[in-house]
Amino acid sequence: MARRTADHRTLAQGLFPKPAEEPAAPQEPLTVSALAARIQRTLEQGIGQVLVIGEVSNARCVSGHWYFSIKDAESRIDCMMFRSTADRSTVKPVDGASLLVRGTVTHYKPQGKTQIQVSQLSHAGAGDLDARFRELCEELRSLGYFDESAKVPLPAVPMCIALLTSAGSAAEHDCLHAAASAFPATRIVAVDVRVQGSGAAAAIANAIAAVDAAAPRLGIEVIILARGGGSLEDLWSFNERVVADAIFACRTPVVTGVGHESDTTIADLVADFRAPTPSRAITETLPDRAALHEQASALARRLVRAQGALLERAAARVHAVARARAVSDPTGSIAVQTRRLSALAVALGGTIAARFDRQHAYAQSLSARLERHHPLQWLAVQRTRVEAAGAKLSHVLGASLMHVSAAIDSAARTLEAVGPTAVFRRGFSLTLRRDGTAVRSVREVEEGALIETVLADGSIRSAVQSKQPNTPA
């Protein structure tokens, strides 16, 4: 700063050379306004645009306009930045920040103040920080810190997460709110840690190591490192080597949600998973509650479909056997057997339907308990219970089918003995109309009508040439 001050003094001497000593000449007195205007012109024309480095102090915002001072060890100068310029600036003056101020030196006549009218603000030393960032990136990349093979996969349904961030910060609030909305069954352990300023990097590294050591005892399955947005200097703690070493050595999966989506830190590159914001770090680590419910419902639907398909196959088998053995005009004995078969089918269907209803209701009640129990354990238990229920159902259904099959075989033997097929083989026949109904009287057909005569070995189609009713005795 001493050299800059000397340079400024040299510049001032060049702009305002000491006049040669001359005899004093009488002067007309100036008004204050005239002198102030002359000072303003001299400053704006003589110095004009400047680029000054200094530490910010007394920063305040009034109606969108910023007023602050920049200082060094020896001097201070006031600055002001109009609202239109401040709205476009990504850097805001904060007390203690080291900034590069670009603007025009001017004189504010109403208050007699010399100040810089700021047109642009930037962080001092940003180029040096960027160079340090790139240098450390190259070193860590060569050591394998960024390799995908070194990253630990995240658990599908973490039931306990450690959240490392500043207590009471907006990042902590956003993360806790997102966790409560996304999957409240997961427990969040909030760990207060400094995330900015001197000593923050060491504090972050120590917190990661301490939580990782306690993770097996506390049941912690994921560590989330979160911090809201800020400048490069604000986020620099997450670019320190000590933080990168702590994340790389951590056995528990580490997720980072640091800054905004456009911000990338070395901690993000080393972490097992990087989220663009703190709240997204939570939502992308936790499972989708709706998806879990749908998975449970899908399993219940699969069970119902499997049992329904088993019943349909059994019913199809019963109907196939019945069609193979059926005749068009069954006798009273066949009707009895048919009623017995129908009763058996109804009883079997009722038993299976009741089992379907109980299993479906049970699956729905278990789905509702997802909020209070670990879904993976629940699914494993329910899969075992469903398999046991399916095996039991198959056994019951098999026994029922054997009983039905025996009844069908008995009915078939009865049909074989008393059915019309045996009658057909003795020379009798069956006459049918075109619509397939049996002709029981000559009065039921007209001359010229088409009829079909069913015999034991086939059928004959013919037209009625004449008909002769029997003469009553």
Per-residue pLDDT tens digits for 44-78: 888 878 889 888 889 999 999 999 999 887 888 99
Task: Extract the tokens encoding 329.
Answer: 């005009």
Question: What are the DSSP calls for 405-445, one per residue?
Answer: HHHHHHHHHHHHHHSHHHHHHTT--EEE-TTSPBP--GGGS
Domains plus CATH for the chain?
Answer: 2-8+37-124 (2.40.50.140), 146-283 (3.40.50.261), 289-418 (no CATH), 429-463 (no CATH)
Rounded Cα distance between 161 and 190, Å, is: 8
Confidence of residue 204 (pLDDT cuts 50, 70, 90): very high
Single out the residue of 158, 50, 161, 39 nearest to residue 101, CA to CA.
50
Residues in the chain: 473
Rounded Cα distance between 261 and 228, Å, is: 11
Sign of the torsion angle spanned by Cα atoms 166, 168, 170, 175: positive
pLDDT of residue 415 exceeding 70, the answer is no
Of the two residues 427 and 418, the one the predictor is more confident about is 427
Q: Which of 30-34, 73-77, 126-130, 216-220 has the lowest average pLDDT?
A: 126-130
Residue 189, helix vs strand vs coil: strand
Single out the residue of 60, 57, 89 nearest to residue 76, CA to CA.
57
pLDDT in tens, 207-221: 999 999 999 999 999
Single out the residue of 77, 16, 23 nearest to residue 50, CA to CA.
77
Q: In this structure, are residues 271 and 247 in contact, taking their beta carbons and an 8 Å threshold? A: yes
Could you give the percent of the chain with pLDDT greater than 70? 77
Q: In this structure, are residues 241 and 210 in contact, taking their beta carbons and an 8 Å threshold? A: no
Please report how many Cα atoms fall inside a 13 Å half-sphere around the Cα of residue 316, on the Cβ side.
6
Q: In this structure, are residues 100 and 52 in contact, taking their beta carbons and an 8 Å threshold? A: yes
pLDDT of residue 423 exceeding 80, the answer is no
**Structure confidence at residue 232 (pLDDT):** 74
- Return the number of other C-beta atoms located less than 10 Å from residue 151's C-beta: 15
**Structure confidence at residue 9 (pLDDT):** 44
Confidence of residue 11 (pLDDT cuts 50, 70, 90): very low
| Helix (H), strand (E) counts: the chain | 13, 13
Q: In this structure, are residues 224 and 175 in contact, taking their beta carbons and an 8 Å threshold? A: yes
Rounded Cα distance between 269 and 301, Å, is: 43
Rounded Cα distance between 223 and 215, Å, is: 9
Q: Give all strands of the β-sheet with 254-258 in edge-to-edge order.
A: 187-192, 160-165, 222-227, 254-258, 273-274
Residue 86 phi, psi (nearest 5): -65, -35
Q: Which of 37-41, 108-112, 250-254, 357-361 has the lowest average pLDDT?
A: 357-361
Rounded Cα distance between 260 and 275, Å, is: 9
Residue 84, helix vs strand vs coil: helix
Q: What separation in angstroms does the CA of 468 have from each of 337, 431, 432? A: 38, 16, 18
Rounded Cα distance between 250 and 185, Å, is: 25
Spell out a b/e string for 350-363, using b for 16 or more CB atoms within 10 Å of the CB, else e.
eebeebbeebeebb
Q: In this structure, are residues 446 and 425 in contact, taking their beta carbons and an 8 Å threshold? A: no
Q: What is the pTM of this model?
A: 0.45
Residue with tokens 């920049």: 70
Of the two residues 252 and 128, the one the predictor is more confident about is 252
**Structure confidence at residue 7 (pLDDT):** 44
Q: State the angle between helix axes of 200-218 and 241-249 in degrees (0 to 180), rounded to the nearest 10.
A: 10
Rounded Cα distance between 172 and 178, Å, is: 10
Confidence of residue 3 (pLDDT cuts 50, 70, 90): very low
The mean per-residue pLDDT over the stretch 357-383 comes to 63
pLDDT in tens, 284-328: 998 877 777 777 777 777 887 877 777 777 777 776 666 665 544
**Structure confidence at residue 121 (pLDDT):** 87
The mean per-residue pLDDT over the stretch 364-390 comes to 65
